[in-house]
Amino acid sequence: MSDEKEILSILSFDEFKNLSVSLNKSLKGSKSIKRLSIQCTNYDYQNLDTRIRITNGKSEIMQKIGDWKSDVRQEISIPLKSDSDLILKTLKILRNITKGENIQTSIIQLENTVYKQKDFEIKLTHQFGKKDVYNCEIEVFDSKLDPKDIASNFNIPLHLPDHTAEFWKNWSESVNLSADGLSDKEMLEIISEYIKI
């Protein structure tokens, strides 16, 4: 279990491209990450989201706890065996226990470039599915640091999202594929693609 102190900025493609060039010049040791998250969200509960996450072939079930508007959220992670059938069964259990009228199961596909430093991390993200979008996440590991100060130091444009259920629901519907209505075969094909990495 760990706490996060972070901010997210939504970028235009040009901002993303320019920031990528400038960060590659000023920060060393970037790492590329390809990630699939299958997120079960009940928008009536803004302090909780649960997902299966496959990062560079490694699988886990992960839950974030804390209000979306907060700079600090808690993460709980349990490793999963990177097996497509097991992941699909785990997803079915998550969907069965996520009940309510305001549920969304999203297929979130990301390509990240991560610049991890001693006291902070900057992550540039290209998210795709129905369309391509770009953002930058700044996370600090030292509680005395402010992510906005890191943004200022590296000339990162700040376009903070409106952290409401309505905003994120609309974002997900416009950007991500939906797991609802996909067959087991279609889900297994998507999951298998990310396990092979």
pLDDT in tens, 88-133: 999 999 998 888 888 889 999 999 999 999 999 999 999 999 999 9
pLDDT at 197 over 70: no
Q: Given pLDDT bands bounded at 50, 70 and 90, which one contains residue 193?
A: very high
pLDDT of residue 4: 65
pLDDT at position 110, please? 97
Q: Are strands 48-55 and 30-42 parallel, antiparallel or unpaired?
A: antiparallel
Contacts of 113 (CB under 8 A, 6+ apart): 20, 23, 30, 31, 32, 33, 123, 124
Is pLDDT of 52 > 70? yes
* pLDDT of 137 higher than 70: yes
Contacts 24+ apart (CB under 8 A), 113-119: 113/20, 113/23, 113/30, 113/31, 113/32, 113/33, 114/30, 114/31, 114/32, 114/33, 115/23, 115/27, 115/29, 115/30, 116/29, 116/31, 117/27, 119/145
Indicate if the pLDDT at residue 38 is higher than 70: yes
